[in-house]
A and B are shown apart, each in its own frame.
Chain A
Amino acid sequence: QKEVEQDPGPLSVPEGAIVSLNCTYSNSAFQYFMWYRQYSRKGPELLMYTYSSGNKEDGRFTAQVDKSSKYISLFIRDSQPSDSATYLCAMSSWGKSTFGDGTTLTVKP
């Protein structure tokens, strides 16, 4: 079983919808929790970074971490066509990051 499991998708939503992306993990040693966005044929770029349970908001994006349930989520409000990309969750301990397989999101105008 993988240490990090990500809802596979793909997801297709209309513009303006709220999007929820989710990951679960099994390794209690993970200390840091990240979300990356990856456009086609590009490298992943860091979107959100947290290290504690709770919510962290940045504009239209909210990252949620629940360490007791080993569950993290990314919410995108008022989704835009420019949000169409693959979203990767990642968790880190001792300098190494482990990634989920990614969820591909398409936001239709």
Chain B
Amino acid sequence: DAGITQSPRYKITETGRQVTLMCHQTWSHSYMFWYRQDLGHGLRLIYYSAAADITDKGEVPDGYVVSRSKTENFPLTLESATRSQTSVYFCASSGQGSGELFFGEGSRLTVL
């Protein structure tokens, strides 16, 4: 089915471990984004990508790494997870970078 899918949907890990959240879209959208959503902070942009091999920092990039070797995939890696990274992570894509975002269902990460 066409759309944007995230995996895993739920993840529990321990402090210091590396975690990778996957995002895949089938629309061939140029733009892809990672947001985190926390109570009291709304959606905050972590990283975004305007095209394959082009990535840029958002509002809260510290502790995260992204890559985009293929247009359809945009993985987010937490190199050494911390408790403050417990959150719901949303991947989104956009065809034109005009603000019309299509979101995945989210990945709920708990860091113990």
Number of interface residues of B (CB under 8 A): 25
Q: Does A97 contact B (CB under 8 A)?
A: yes
B99 touches A90 (CB 8 A): yes
| Docked CA distance A71–B103 (Å) | 25
| Docked CA distance A74–B36 (Å) | 24
Number of interface residues of A (CB under 8 A): 27
26 residue pairs bridging A and B, Cβ less than 8 Å apart: A6-B42, A31-B98, A31-B99, A32-B100, A34-B99, A34-B100, A34-B101, A36-B101, A42-B105, A43-B90, A43-B92, A44-B43, A44-B90, A46-B100, A46-B101, A46-B102, A49-B99, A49-B100, A95-B31, A95-B48, A95-B50, A96-B48, A96-B58, A99-B35, A101-B40, A101-B41
Task: List chain B positions with a Cβ less than 8 A from chain A.
Answer: 31, 33, 35, 40-45, 48, 50, 58, 90, 92, 94, 97-106
